Structure 1
């Protein structure tokens, strides 16, 4: 499978990674999905200490331990579970990050994390302190590179401006959520990679289309699309690509952008994973097809969390 470089790092990741949040807590089934990903050429696995209160990291670490030197493991920090494990608070402080990384390393059964990401953030946070923690963890060898996972333009701009080692930002990005595109010039300028999560928009951009729509989506639509607009947009996409699966079109649209290092759809079954791999390995979209998709879909921007 094609690999791409994350930022200016020496991390080369498969163009489709595995978002591990949807693996579940069945150790055997999760292991089957991860092994299938490895067999299909995927070398990039994204988890977080938040997922299943750390159990996801444990499952991922166990499955990848035999091939640790052949894979890129990304995890996230910043969400602090309470003692009852029924909720969490936000903590981007240096003290918390430098303690949490050791817990993640233990669960992942590894000596280092390839990509350590701040799992959210607000403009009120002390970004300098957070960056100082990441830079120290690099020097100490606990992490190789760091990134953020944020949809907030003001947070993204701040880290891009002041974090010397910022490598990537993870954002939800799909044909139905093109808001990250306004930030691509910044990514290109700063040599920061976009890691795209949610590329099939909760299953709407698959052949099941609106069969995957929840009652909430049927009533309120999806993001800035009404349900009627969703119907029209998805039908127009099918008309534009009569000989290709919608899943393939969705992933190829994301992968057509040079800012994207990898897209990481989740997979809760082996079959779903194989469908995603097939879609990612499909024929790239040409310029006319990309223009057609952009004409059909909406190019919105983030209305909130913007600098004055």
Structure 2
């Protein structure tokens, strides 16, 4: 299963279309059970996700590989302490992945990479890396000879700014995880009811919905399977609010029939203001 379960919704209210809020303990247990039964073996979390790490420490029961992320820190000692705190909350002695939540953290303080490498040697981390927001960040880090074992980056049907970097990363042996395949739910929204700031996307979103309607496929099915079909992408980080949503997303993958011509039509949709494809600008 090419899905990694994102957990930001487990600790904070998140997402432009989130209507359920943070799941209860029972609901969270249900989501994790569905994930485990479907063969999803990774969870993606972060210190910044409220109490998500702590809740995973209580309910994940060592059934999953955990990837977590650290915020901006001022020193190598602070990074060591932050890692130890995450491990304590996760009720674990090690994590599969430990990433800078924003690649700028490592660009501004490259010595932190040495701390991550040491923790990897000590067996506390399997894979070290960073979360990217802009292709320029990757270029700066590679120039510093900071070669990631694992990266996370945004990628979706309308936001393909990292396309050229995917092959480069695979050549370096990097495991590539992508987030925002539904662009925080934007693709599901009614194009005529977008918030004022996002109205410049109305035309593109209308075209996307029209292509999907003409081909008798749901927007969510197309958005998810377009990314899954990319051979350079190892995992899709996908958050859900309920177990029913997760089951629906898994079914989207299982039922999909490949259609290259459909993907080509979507790739032809033009975005005038690409900055609006980055949720930080919302």
Q: Tell me the CA shift for residue 285 of structure 1.
A: 2.8
Give the counterpart of 1:259 among 232, 244, 248. Answer: 232
Q: Tell me the CA shift for residue 36 of structure 1.
A: 1.5
Shift in CA distance, 221/266, structure 1 to aligned 2, threshold 3 Å: same
Q: Residue 74 of structure 1 corresponds to which residue in structure 2?
A: 67
Q: Residue 148 of structure 2 corresponds to which residue in structure 1?
A: 166
Q: What secondary structure sits across from 2:47 in the alignment?
A: coil
The CA RMSD measured in Å over matched residues stands at: 2.6
**Stretch of structure 1 that moved more, 276-285 or 43-52:** 276-285
Structure 2: tracts of 5 or more residues without a match: 11-21, 277-282
For this pair of structures, how many residues does the alignment match? 265
Matches within 5 A, 1:56-75: 56-65=52-61, 68=62, 70-75=63-68
Matches within 5 A, 1:1-308: 14-23=1-10, 24=22, 26-52=24-50, 55-65=51-61, 68=62, 70-78=63-71, 90-91=72-73, 93-122=75-104, 125-163=107-145, 166-206=148-188, 209-210=189-190, 217-221=194-198, 225-239=200-214, 241-242=215-216, 244-283=217-256, 285-296=258-269, 298=271
**2-side partners of 1:258 and 1:161: how far apart?**
26
Q: Tell me the CA shift for residue 164 of structure 1.
A: 5.9
Residue 23 of structure 2 contacts residue 241 of structure 2 at CA under 8 Å; is this kept in 1? no
TM-score in terms of structure 1 length: 0.77
Q: What secondary structure sits across from 2:111 in the alignment?
A: helix
CA deviations over 1:159-195 (Å, ceiling 9, x no partner):
3344565122212221122222132232233232321
CA deviations over 1:32-69 (Å, ceiling 9, x no partner):
211111122211110101111xx10011122122xx2x
Q: What secondary structure sits across from 2:128 in the alignment?
A: strand
Residue 233 of structure 1 contacts residue 297 of structure 1 at CA under 8 Å; is this kept in 2? no
Q: What secondary structure sits across from 2:221 in the alignment?
A: helix
- 4+ runs of 1 displaced by more than 6 Å? 299-303
Q: Tell me the CA shift for residue 116 of structure 1.
A: 0.6
Q: What secondary structure sits across from 2:184 in the alignment?
A: coil
TM-score in terms of structure 2 length: 0.84
Shift in CA distance, 157/281, structure 1 to aligned 2, threshold 3 Å: farther
Q: Tell me the CA shift for residue 20 of structure 1.
A: 0.5
**1-side partners of 2:140 and 2:275: how far apart?**
16
Q: What secondary structure sits across from 2:186 in the alignment?
A: coil
CA deviations over 1:257-293 (Å, ceiling 9, x no partner):
1221111221011111111111122325343333222
**2-side partners of 1:124 and 1:61: how far apart?**
27
Residue 219 of structure 1 contacts residue 227 of structure 1 at CA under 8 Å; is this kept in 2? no
Q: Tell me the CA shift for residue 301 of structure 1.
A: 7.1
Residue 172 of structure 1 contacts residue 199 of structure 1 at CA under 8 Å; is this kept in 2? yes
